[in-house]
C-alpha cells in the first residue's frame, strides 16, 4: 500500500480484487494527503472493507448478479443467517454452480418425491439425507439443500423431531440425529460442534473411532430454490409445512442478470431491492405442491 509499508496490511485487503485494491490504495494516499496518520488512514480503510456492502438483514432480500453470490453468502454467514438463494433462470445457473463446487447436494425435491410418489420409507430417505450431511461435515464441504421448484416439507416432515419421523422405525435412540432443524439456523454452523458430530456420525463414518470434521470452518448450509421472488414465500413459508421458520433466520439472495440489475439501478425508484434488504412477512394459506409433501 505504498507509503503504508511500515503498517501491517489487514488480511481483508489481500482478498480484494486488483481493481478494489487499487481503489483503496488511491484512497489511502488521499487520506495521507489530508493530514491523516498512517494508522488513522488504515483504520478508516479497514472499517470500509469490513462494512457489509449488501445491507443484509434477518429475513431480508438482496438482489445480486451471480458473480457476487459467494460474497453475499459470506456476508450472510457473518450476520449469523442461513443463505437462501433464489434463481429462476432458465438454465439454473445457481444449482449448476454448486454442482461443480466442493459441495454435498441434499436433493430436497427427490426426498419429497421418494416418500409421496415412490413410497420409499421415510427412514430410508432420512438416512440418505444424514449421509449427505455427514459427507459435508467430514470433508469441510458446503451442504447445498437444493429445492428446485419443490416445497419440500422440512418443517413438519423431514426433521428429527417431526411426527412422521418419530413415529417411524427410524432409530433415534442414544441421541442419534439424521436431519436436525439446526441445519437451517446460522448456516448450520452448530453442527460442527462435537455433540452434533457424535449425534450424526455412525461407526462406519468415524475415523479410528472418532467423529472427525476436516476443515470445519469451511462447512456451511446454503439453500437453493428455483421459485421466483414473487412465489417463494407463498409456497415455502406461508404455511406450517415447507421450510423451517422463522424467515428471519435466512438471508434471501435473489440472483438476477447483471444487465437487469444495471437497468434497475439506472431507473429512479426501482433500485431499492437491489442492494437493500426488504423485511419478510408470512401468513398461512395455501396447500403445498404435490412433490413437496
In a shared domain, residues 14 and 146: no
- Evaluate whether residue 12 is within a structural domain: yes
pLDDT band for position 17 (cuts 50, 70, 90): low
Query: What is the structure's pLDDT at 1?
Result: 52
Tell me the pLDDT tens digit for each residue of 101-140. Answer: 889 999 999 999 999 999 999 999 999 999 999 999 999 9
Tell me, yes or no, whether 256 and 143 share the same domain: yes
Residues 65, 36 share a domain: no
Over residues 1-13, the pLDDT tens digits come to 544 445 566 676 7
pLDDT at residue 265, rounded to an integer: 85
Tens digit of pLDDT for each residue in 18-64?
A: 777 888 888 888 888 998 888 888 888 777 777 888 999 999 999 99
249 lies in a domain? Answer: yes
Average pLDDT over residues 180-190: 98
Q: Is residue 100 part of a domain?
A: yes
55 inside domain: no
Which grid coordinates belong to 162?
A: 417431526
Query: What domain range includes position 36?
Result: 2-49
Mean pLDDT, the chain, whole residue set = 88
Same domain membership, residue 111 and residue 9: no
pLDDT(162) > 70? yes
The three grid cell numbers given for residue 70, joined into one nine-digit string: 459467494
Single pTM value for the model? 0.79
Is 175 found in the same domain as 126? yes
- Regarding whether 8 and 102 lie in a shared domain, the answer is no
Q: Tell whether 282 and 249 lie within a shared domain.
A: yes
The mean-pLDDT minimum among 65-69, 221-225, 271-275 falls in 271-275
So what's the pLDDT on residue 83? 98
Residue 215: inside a domain: yes
What pLDDT sits at residue 268? 65
Amino acid at each position: 500500500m505504498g507509503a503504508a509499508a511500515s503498517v501491517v496490511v489487514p488480511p481483508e485487503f489481500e482478498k480484494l480484487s486488483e481493481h478494489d485494491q487499487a481503489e483503496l490504495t488511491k484512497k489511502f494516499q488521499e487520506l495521507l494527503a489530508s493530514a491523516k496518520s498512517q494508522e488513522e488512514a488504515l483504520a478508516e480503510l479497514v472499517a470500509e472493507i469490513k462494512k457489509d456492502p449488501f445491507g443484509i438483514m434477518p429475513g431480508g432480500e438482496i438482489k445480486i448478479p451471480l458473480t457476487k453470490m459467494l460474497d453475499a453468502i459470506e456476508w450472510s454467514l457473518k450476520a449469523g443467517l442461513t443463505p437462501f438463494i433464489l434463481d429462476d433462470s432458465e438454465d439454473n445457473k445457481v444449482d449448476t454452480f454448486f454442482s461443480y463446487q466442493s459441495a454435498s447436494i441434499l436433493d430436497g425435491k427427490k426426498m419429497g418425491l421418494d416418500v409421496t410418489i415412490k413410497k420409499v420409507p421415510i427412514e430410508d430417505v432420512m438416512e440418505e439425507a444424514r449421509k449427505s450431511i455427514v459427507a459435508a461435515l467430514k470433508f469441510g464441504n458446503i451442504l447445498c439443500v437444493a429445492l428446485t421448484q419443490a416445497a419440500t416439507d422440512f418443517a413438519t416432515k423431514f426433521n428429527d423431531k417431526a411426527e412422521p419421523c418419530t413415529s417411524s422405525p427410524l432409530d433415534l435412540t442414544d441421541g442419534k440425529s439424521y436431519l436436525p432443524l439446526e441445519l437451517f439456523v446460522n448456516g448450520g454452523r452448530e453442527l460442527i460442534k462435537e455433540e452434533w458430530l457424535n449425534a450424526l456420525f455412525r461407526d462406519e463414518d468415524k475415523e479410528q473411532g472418532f467423529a472427525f470434521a476436516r476443515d470445519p470452518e469451511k462447512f456451511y448450509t446454503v439453500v437453493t430454490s428455483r421459485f421466483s421472488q414473487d412465489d417463494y414465500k407463498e409456497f415455502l413459508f406461508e404455511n406450517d409445512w415447507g421450510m423451517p421458520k422463522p424467515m428471519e433466520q435466512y438471508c434471501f439472495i435473489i440472483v438476477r442478470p447483471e444487465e437487469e440489475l444495471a437497468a434497475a439501478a439506472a431507473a429512479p425508484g426501482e433500485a431499492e431491492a437491489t442492494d437493500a434488504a426488504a423485511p419478510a412477512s408470512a401468513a398461512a394459506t395455501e396447500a403445498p405442491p404435490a412433490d413437496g409433501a
